């Protein structure tokens, strides 16, 4: 197959590209990325050495450019990771989230329809469901749970999901949607909880924890997420939604303490800060559907995954330092 991975220079996209190149050496993999602040070509250095991989610089909202790309390459499959994804940034500047996450998805789907009804997969998030109460451990997000987003980020992703469903019904687009829980693992940009805490702990800096730290997230190791997406695009039912959860519910403060313990650092580094606006209380995913239909379950326990993630960050401190010094932006320009 010829596969287009949009947003492929970001955290999950990078991991998915390496997964594809390793598992399907005969497939051609294209990475389309605009290289905004979270895109890092340094992460794709090894992929660049593979003659089955090609990087393309471009904006998914640029209709003329996207149409030209689709016309030239004749893709078989599009996996859309391209999105603005940081909640705090969406609170500060909602507009760019609406443009990229909604209008960009529309342009990609229009291109899929125009050039042969290309198979399309939308990578979404459990945040479209809103949140669950902390005292109802019996409640979980299911694929038919009502959408109730809390932030401009999650609202833009929910809007994109609804747009995909409308294209399926109105235009018979061959598409699927997956909604995942919080990912962690190699190459994660240091603005999300786990890489931020690892870096700050390594440098003996205060570790800022929102509110009381009792907000709960379900953690999914990124490789397990890649495997799930692969199962959906190759064996899943067209026009279906699949939830992908890690079965690892943890309070934020527990995550921070685990990192400190693994690094042999004192909990005195923990600093509680003013809570995020509209901060969701608990995310919890029911992955029964993908388990029953595709025989997928997460293989990586949080205890194992966090050790691997910390080790990767320790082994790749230069990668992290380049981001925090903005040197990676110069590297992007040179490449």
Tokens representing residue 126 in the block: 């459990």
Burial 133-146 (b: 16+ CB within 10 A, else e): eeeeeeebbebebe
DSSP state of 285: B
Selected catalytic residue, list 84, 127, 218, 223: 127
Backbone conformation region of residue 134, classed left if phi is above 0, alpha if psi is from -120 to 50, else beta: alpha
- The answer to whether the Cα torsion of 330, 331, 334, 335 is positive or negative is negative
Contact 197, 207 (CB under 8 A): yes
Nearest-5° Cα angle at 235, 70 to 102? 45
Contact 226, 19 (CB under 8 A): yes
- Diameter over CA atoms, the chain: 58
Phi/psi for 223 (5° steps) reads: -65, -40
187 is a catalytic site residue = no
64 is a catalytic site residue = no
Selected catalytic residue, list 18, 129, 153, 328: 153
Phi/psi for 146 (5° steps) reads: -60, 145
Backbone conformation region of residue 188, classed left if phi is above 0, alpha if psi is from -120 to 50, else beta: beta
127 is a catalytic site residue = yes
Selected catalytic residue, list 59, 84, 126, 230: 126
Burial label for 22, CB within 10 Å (0-12, 13-18, 19+), is: exposed
- H or E, element range at 68: helix 63-73
In the block, tokens 């800096």 appear at 205
User: Which residues, 6+ apart, have CB-to-CB distance to 128 below 8 Å?
Assistant: 147, 149, 154, 157, 158, 161, 179
Among 66, 43, 46, 71, residue whose Cα is nearest residue 56: 66
Active-site residues, by number, are 126-127, 153
């Amino acid at each position: 197959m010829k596969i287009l991975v949009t947003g492929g220079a970001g955290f999950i996209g990078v991991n998915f590209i390496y997964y594809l190149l390793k598992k399907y050496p005969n497939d051609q993999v294209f990475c389309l990325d605009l290289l905004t602040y979270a895109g890092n070509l340094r992460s794709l250095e090894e992929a660049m050495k593979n003659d089955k991989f090609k990087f393309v610089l471009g904006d998914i909202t640029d209709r003329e450019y996207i149409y030209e790309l689709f016309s030239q390459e004749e893709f078989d499959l599009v996996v859309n990771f391209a999105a603005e994804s940081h909640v705090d940034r969406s609170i500060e500047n909602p507009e760019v989230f609406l443009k990229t996450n909604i209008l960009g998805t529309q342009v990609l789907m229009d291109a899929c329809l125009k050039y042969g009804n290309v198979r399309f997969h939308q990578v979404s998030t459990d945040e479209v469901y809103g949140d669950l109460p902390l005292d109802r451990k019996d409640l979980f997000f299911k694929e038919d749970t009502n959408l109730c987003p809390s932030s401009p980020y999650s609202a833009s992703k929910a809007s994109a999901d609804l747009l995909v469903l409308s294209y399926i019904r109105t235009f018979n687009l061959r598409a699927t949607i997956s909604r995942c829980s919080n990912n962690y693992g190699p190459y994660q940009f240091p603005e999300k909880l786990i890489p931020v805490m690892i870096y700050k702990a390594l440098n003996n800096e205060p570790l800022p924890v929102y509110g009381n730290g009792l907000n709960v997230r379900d953690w999914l190791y990124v490789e397990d997420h890649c495997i799930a997406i692969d199962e959906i695009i190759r064996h899943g039912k067209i026009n279906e939604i699949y939830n992908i959860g890690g079965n690892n519910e943890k309070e934020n403060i527990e995550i921070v303490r685990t990192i400190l313990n693994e690094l042999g650092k004192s909990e005195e580094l923990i600093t509680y800060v003013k809570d995020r606006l509209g901060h969701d209380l608990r995310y919890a995913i029911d992955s029964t559907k993908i388990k029953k239909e595709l025989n997928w379950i997460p293989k990586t326990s949080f205890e194992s995954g966090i050790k691997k993630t910390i080790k990767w960050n320790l082994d790749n401190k230069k990668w992290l330092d380049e981001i925090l010094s903005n040197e990676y932006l110069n590297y992007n320009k040179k490449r």
